Chains A and B, each alone.
Chain A
Amino acid sequence: MYSIITRLVQAAIVMLCVALVGFLVFQYVGDPVLAMVGQETSVADREALRKQLGLNDPIVVQYIRYVGNALQGDFGISYSFNRDVSDMIAERLPATVELVLLSGVLSLALAIPAGIYTGIHRRGGLAQTIMALSVIGVSVPSFLLGILLILVFSVWLPWLPSFGRGDIAGLAGFQSSLFTVDGLLHALMPATVLCLFQLGVILRLIRSEMLEVLRTDYIRFAWARGLPAQRVYLQHALKNTLVPVVTAVGLQLSSLFAFSIITEYVFQWPGMGSLLLHAIGQSDIPLLAAYLIFVGFVFTLANLVVDAIYVLIDPRIRHGAR
């Protein structure tokens, strides 16, 4: 209980810092007033608007005012859309979450078996091929891969839609495009592109941890005791690779939120990433700040969850000194 409270306090500090860094950077994203007004607006009107928005105040004052409002749940009004920032984030969040979830599931579902397999048969032909392909996943930029997939599967072979999110349906109280065929078709290419980097990283981590563990004495004893291979690999070996893997997975999955910016841009996926790009282009400070705080929140939350999982999977932490 005590540690959870400490963690929450830490999380709040992290988010405050993220917002502060954000506000320092906002000095250089351009002039939001120029992005808001038309070419015929007079210099005096521009200055009046700047004053009205409080953009002439020192950056520290702007920051404190922002945090004060945010604490009351008011994230301001988007300069470029004239709408509540909270409404806009709430509108865009489901699309990003479903893309991140789908690609997270995809990357875990593929990386765990492939990692175990390549760890066991490290000299096999298939394992070598998987390793070679994982290098592509880690090294090819996702926008390039995205454009390539669109070219092949939308233009040459008109099988998959090249952009956007599909039809939305409700299931068990949730609205998602993953519940419809059309929605899944739309999500397939973006989710694939988004998962590849994580897939490569997690696969390689599991493989190297497996190699490490398989060399240890207790595995040899397990073999000597004549245990079946399945039990040795999955129960004794895999379980002991999990602590570093869970750490990596937690961080990798939360960084999917950040990576999704490019994927969303390439596939015109209407999530928070494409909203962020628009906000940068328009110097839309309230929107930028809310996005940064949100991503900071996701990262701290993921770390919190990872810590909780440690306790579950590692008895040394569970029974260790407090």
Chain B
Amino acid sequence: MHSKLLPTAAVVLAFMLAPATQASAATIRIASQGDATSLDPHSHNESFTNYFLANVYEGLVGRDRDFKIAGQLAESWEQVDDKTWIFKLRPGVTFHDGSEFNAEDVVFSFDRALAESSNFKHVLASVDSYRAVDDLTIEIITTAPNPILLNDLLDLMILDKQWAEANGAEEPINLQAEEKSFSATNANGTGPFAISSRAQGEKTELVKYADYWNESGNIDKVVFTPINNASTLVSALLSGEVDLVMPLPLQDIARVESAKGIKVVSSPEARTMYIGMDQWRDQIIESPVEGNPFKDLKVRQAFAHALDAQAIIDRVMQGQATLSTQYVMDKVNGYNPALERLAYDPEKAKALLAEAGYADGMELTMDCSTDRYVNDGQICQAAVSLLARVGVKVNLIAQPKAQFFPKVVAPEFGTSFFLLSWTPSTMDSLNVFQNVLGSRDLDNGRGAWNISGCSVPEADAIVEEAAVTMDADKRRAMLEEAMALMVDDVCLIPLHVQQLVWGAAENIDVVQHPTFEFPLEYYNVN
């Protein structure tokens, strides 16, 4: 039967297959758990898709090898006054199809990013107007001084106007229209790699763009394959069928480290994990407790003292995380180095709960996703048992992200105790204040992810001023002050900063950026 067939067939086939598992010198084979959902740089704002496409498309500015903001399609820029920016474009740049890049393409791409079906309208939220001054000059005027305009522009990719118009791709796809989605399956950027073939969900091949304006590493060809199943992903690395896998599941780290010819590459990711507590309802939901205990600062502090984040890092995260003291990681502008986290101290937690009138403990329901962050379900389970030690009984609702997010997001905010996480895409803490920490003001786009409903008006005022302060040092000091206020108020309980953990062949030089970018032009195969 089957058991007889396999070995026989496999022996025969072994001879035919042997050469296929060796990489040629300048090809890198990458496998990841997901695929880019679209090749259109304005349709999906999803980090993997964005950073995959950042190898093909470029913005006016981008990140250099050391993660600093550097000119890409803009060669230089200057501020005429607080609100007016002049960008000088790089001359002689061409798109992959050979056509020339100029200011017209920039204006077109800005228009396109503001179209109805675009998911990148927010990057131009501070911009009042933009225009082409001449062929290689762009003027941008903001509505108010915007010190982080460059950060905002990082995610705005530039397309070729003629190419888009010729192919009916003037807008990111309109779901209602009957048009063919050309730009979802084809790409024409100025980046270091061009897409040579693509079968969605199966395989995408990129080749080095010979006329790229900048230096790029020695990789000529990239074969990218999504592998959804974590154990197949690891097997493909162990068997030498791929050179780089991302992410590597934490439980396989030891297995990969002990294998010959492959290594584990890790570095902190700009994602901070928090536990949140409902501070806005008068009556918390899904709990027999009367009223809202979280309105009392002592209760929030008690919870912070009860949650042993180091134990969660050691056991659940296998050491692949760093303890956090606040709501952003240290590479984010506005990180306050003076802050300390409330120490793990169950006795103190019990005392604080008693002072607040909960000497006999309490019962709560916690909402948690199971497939969104690294080991999110296990983090919550650990939190539940840590809280049980101080007399807080937590009923855990661990659910797929498809159920979790619709329940907890605006405008319902349907949870009173939850796990959440945030990556500020701009690497500036203003993004966290606007979305997660600022008092809710949905009409003005503030606090849409403030599920806790915490509110520190003093911090809001400081942040509002910092948002329009052009002096970088002064601005950073203000953001740090606001961060301290939020931490003192225990708006959320920070847990840890998770690590990016990848597995790679020994001969590959990998550059990891904290926002999950994988700029292949800096990669090398030795």
- Interfacial residues, chain A to chain B (CB-CB below 8 A): 28-31, 34-45, 52-53, 77, 79-84, 88, 91-92, 110, 114, 130, 133-134, 137, 147, 149-151, 153-155, 157-165, 181-182, 185, 188, 192, 195-196, 199, 265-268, 270, 274-275, 277-278, 280-283
Could you say which of B5, B44, B236 contacts A163, with CB atoms under 8 Å apart? B236
Q: Top 10 closest A-B pairs, CB basis?
A: A38-B45, A30-B402, A270-B202, A31-B406, A82-B173, A159-B14, A40-B122, A154-B239, A82-B184, A268-B227
- In the complex, what distance in Å separates the CA atom of A28 from the CA atom of B400? 12
Contact B448–A42 (Cβ < 8 Å): yes
Contact B10–A83 (Cβ < 8 Å): no
- In the complex, what distance in Å separates the CA atom of A259 from the CA atom of B225? 23
Contact B406–A37 (Cβ < 8 Å): no
- Residues of B contacting A88 with CB < 8 Å? 200
A–B pairs, 24, beta carbons within 8 Å: A30-B406, A41-B122, A43-B411, A52-B175, A77-B173, A79-B175, A92-B201, A110-B5, A130-B1, A133-B1, A133-B3, A137-B2, A150-B235, A154-B241, A158-B240, A159-B10, A161-B241, A163-B225, A163-B235, A185-B16, A196-B2, A268-B229, A268-B232, A281-B400
- Residues of B contacting A283 with CB < 8 Å? 402
- In the complex, what distance in Å separates the CA atom of A30 from the CA atom of B400? 9
Known: A79-B175, A164-B203. A185 touches B13 (CB 8 A): yes
CB distance from A258 to the nearest CB of B (A): 18
A interface, over-half SS: helix
Contact B232–A82 (Cβ < 8 Å): no
B1-22: which residues lie under 8 A (CB-CB) from chain A?
Answer: 1-3, 5-6, 9-11, 13-14, 16-18, 20-21
- In the complex, what distance in Å separates the CA atom of A23 from the CA atom of B21? 45
Contact B241–A163 (Cβ < 8 Å): yes
- Residues of B contacting A147 with CB < 8 Å? 231-232, 235
Contact B200–A81 (Cβ < 8 Å): yes
Contact B449–A150 (Cβ < 8 Å): no
Could you say which of B14, B43, B226, B371 contacts A82, with CB atoms under 8 Å apart? B43
- In the complex, what distance in Å separates the CA atom of A147 from the CA atom of B45? 33
Contact B119–A38 (Cβ < 8 Å): yes
Contact A266–B200 (Cβ < 8 Å): no
Contact B225–A164 (Cβ < 8 Å): yes
- Residues of A contacting B445 with CB < 8 Å? 42
Which chain B residue shows the least CB distance to A189? B6
- In the complex, what distance in Å separates the CA atom of A44 from the CA atom of B185? 29
CB distance from A112 to the nearest CB of B (A): 12
- Residues of B contacting A281 with CB < 8 Å? 371, 400, 402
Q: Mark B26-68, 1 if CB is under 8 A from A, else 0.
A: 0000010000011010011110000000000000000000000
A-B contact count (CB 8 A): 184
Beyond A36-B44, A43-B448, A80-B37, 18 additional contacts (C-beta under 8 Å) are A38-B45, A38-B46, A39-B425, A40-B122, A52-B175, A53-B175, A53-B176, A137-B2, A147-B231, A149-B6, A154-B236, A154-B241, A155-B235, A161-B17, A270-B202, A278-B201, A281-B402, A283-B402
Could you say which of B10, B37, B228, B422 contacts A81, with CB atoms under 8 Å apart? B37
- Residues of A contacting B405 with CB < 8 Å? 30-31, 34
Q: Mark B205-244, 1 if CB is under 8 A from A, else 0.
A: 0000000000000000000011111011001101111000
- Residues of B contacting A28 with CB < 8 Å? 403
Which chain B residue shows the least CB distance to A77? B175
Could you say which of A155, A196, A266 contacts B238, with CB atoms under 8 Å apart? A155
- In the complex, what distance in Å separates the CA atom of A181 from the CA atom of B17? 9
Could you say which of B11, B21, B46, B228 contacts A274, with CB atoms under 8 Å apart? B228
The verdict on B333 contacting chain A, using a C-beta distance below 8 Å, is no
- Residues of B contacting A153 with CB < 8 Å? 6, 10
The verdict on B181 contacting chain A, using a C-beta distance below 8 Å, is yes
- Residues of B contacting A43 with CB < 8 Å? 410-411, 442, 448
The verdict on B409 contacting chain A, using a C-beta distance below 8 Å, is yes
Most buried by A among B38, B406, B435: B406
Known: A164-B203, A267-B232. A40 touches B435 (CB 8 A): yes
The verdict on B199 contacting chain A, using a C-beta distance below 8 Å, is yes
Contact A274–B201 (Cβ < 8 Å): yes
B115-131: which residues lie under 8 A (CB-CB) from chain A?
Answer: 119-122
The verdict on B331 contacting chain A, using a C-beta distance below 8 Å, is no
Q: Mark B242-280, 1 if CB is under 8 A from A, else 0.
A: 000000000000000000000000000000000000000
CB distance from B446 to the nearest CB of A (A): 10
The verdict on B281 contacting chain A, using a C-beta distance below 8 Å, is no
The verdict on B180 contacting chain A, using a C-beta distance below 8 Å, is yes
Contact B232–A185 (Cβ < 8 Å): no
- In the complex, what distance in Å separates the CA atom of A160 from the CA atom of B46? 34
Could you say which of B37, B40, B202 contacts A164, with CB atoms under 8 Å apart? B202
CB distance from A125 to the nearest CB of B (A): 14
- Residues of B contacting A150 with CB < 8 Å? 231-232, 235
Known: A39-B435, A82-B173. A163 touches B232 (CB 8 A): yes
Most buried by B among A91, A162, A182, A282: A162
Contact A158–B10 (Cβ < 8 Å): no
Contact B175–A155 (Cβ < 8 Å): no
Contact B201–A275 (Cβ < 8 Å): yes
Could you say which of B1, B120, B235 contacts A151, with CB atoms under 8 Å apart? B235
Could you say which of A31, A39, A44, A53 contacts B45, with CB atoms under 8 Å apart? A39
Contact B402–A35 (Cβ < 8 Å): yes
